[in-house]
């Protein structure tokens, strides 16, 4: 079946540190890949996405590259801020699967001043 695996959390970093959050996937077809972010007390919102191999999604200083050879979509940011503290979810959607997304378990990021 289709699944998304995220690294175990939580993650605590100091402001301006480099961030990597690992995400790997298993899919029967050719999925689109997403990162969603959930700020405290809010619903999820799309952070970035990539729809085919080697695509790079980027937004708000975050980047992730769709790596088909390693079935990965790792999230990176060069310098995190306190305002980046949130829960991050990796997700996939198969082509033709309407809008059904399969989510990873999420990882909590806390950034210290």
The residues that touch other proteins, with contacts defined as CB under 8 A, are 32, 36, 41-46, 49, 89, 93, 98-101, 103-106
| Closest distance to other proteins from the beta carbon of 57 (Å) | 12
Note if the bond before 10 is cis, omega within 30 degrees: yes
Q: How far is the CB of 101 from other proteins (least distance, A)?
A: 6
Report the nearest approach of other proteins to the CB of residue 79 (Å). Answer: 27
Nearer to other proteins, 17 or 24 (CB): 24
The first and second tokens of residue 38, run together, are: 């959930």
Q: Which of 3, 13, 1 is nearest to 33 (CA)?
A: 3
Closest C-alpha among 65, 85, 81 to residue 73: 65
């Amino acid at each position: 079946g289709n699944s998304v695996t995220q690294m175990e959390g939580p993650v605590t970093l100091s402001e301006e540190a480099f961030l990597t959050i690992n995400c790997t996937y298993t899919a029967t077809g050719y999925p689109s890949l997403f990162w969603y972010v959930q700020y405290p007390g809010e619903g999820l919102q799309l952070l970035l996405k990539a729809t085919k191999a080697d695509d790079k999604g980027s937004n708000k200083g975050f980047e992730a590259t769709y790596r088909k050879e390693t079935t990965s979509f790792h999230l990176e940011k060069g310098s995190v801020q306190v305002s980046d503290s949130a829960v991050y979810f990796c997700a996939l959607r198969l082509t033709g699967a309407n809008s059904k997304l399969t989510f990873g378990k999420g990882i909590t990021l806390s950034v210290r001043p």
